[in-house]
């Protein structure tokens, strides 16, 4: 998701062993500010904040805190239709009910 958003390869030429240590310690990729992202419609993409929130949920340290593949697909499809906000809210409500 980060690669699609930034049009860059994640981690560049980082040493794989250093990368494992970094991620294991909780390190994650930096999310660039909106104005630094490529694309002609980035400035007006209303779903960007929700897309970033979904991406960051996928990076959760604890696997149980990460969304499942089905949930990711549903949210991305819904977001394409302009419904990121509603889908993220319903996902949070469902997670709260299951806790």
The domain segmentation of the chain, as residue ranges, is 2-98
Is the model's pLDDT at 93 over the cut of 70?
no
Q: Cα dihedral sign for 9, 13, 19, 23?
A: negative
CA distances to 26, 37, 83, 97 from 11, rounded to whole Å, are 15, 16, 30, 36
Q: What pLDDT is recorded for position 87?
A: 47
Work out the average pLDDT over 59-73. 95
Is the model's pLDDT at 78 over the cut of 60?
yes
For residues 95 and 58, which has the higher predicted lDDT (pLDDT)? 58
Buried b (16+ CB within 10 A) or exposed e, 21-31: eeeeeeeebee
Is the model's pLDDT at 77 over the cut of 50?
yes
Is the model's pLDDT at 13 over the cut of 70?
yes
Instruction: Name 6's Cβ contacts closer than 8 Å, sequence gap at least 6.
Output: 32, 37, 38
pLDDT band at 75 (very low <50, low <70, confident <90, very high): confident
């Amino acid at each position: 998701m980060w690669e699609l958003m930034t049009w860059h390869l994640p981690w560049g030429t980082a040493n794989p062993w250093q990368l494992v240590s970094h991620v294991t310690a909780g390190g994650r990729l930096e999310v660039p500010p909106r104005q630094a992202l490529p694309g002609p419609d980035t400035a007006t993409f209303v779903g960007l904040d929700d897309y970033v929130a979904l991406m960051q949920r996928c990076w959760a340290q604890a696997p149980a805190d990460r969304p499942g593949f089905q949930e990711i697909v549903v949210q991305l499809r819904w977001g394409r239709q302009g419904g990121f906000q509603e889908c993220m809210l319903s996902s949070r409500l469902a997670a709260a009910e299951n806790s």
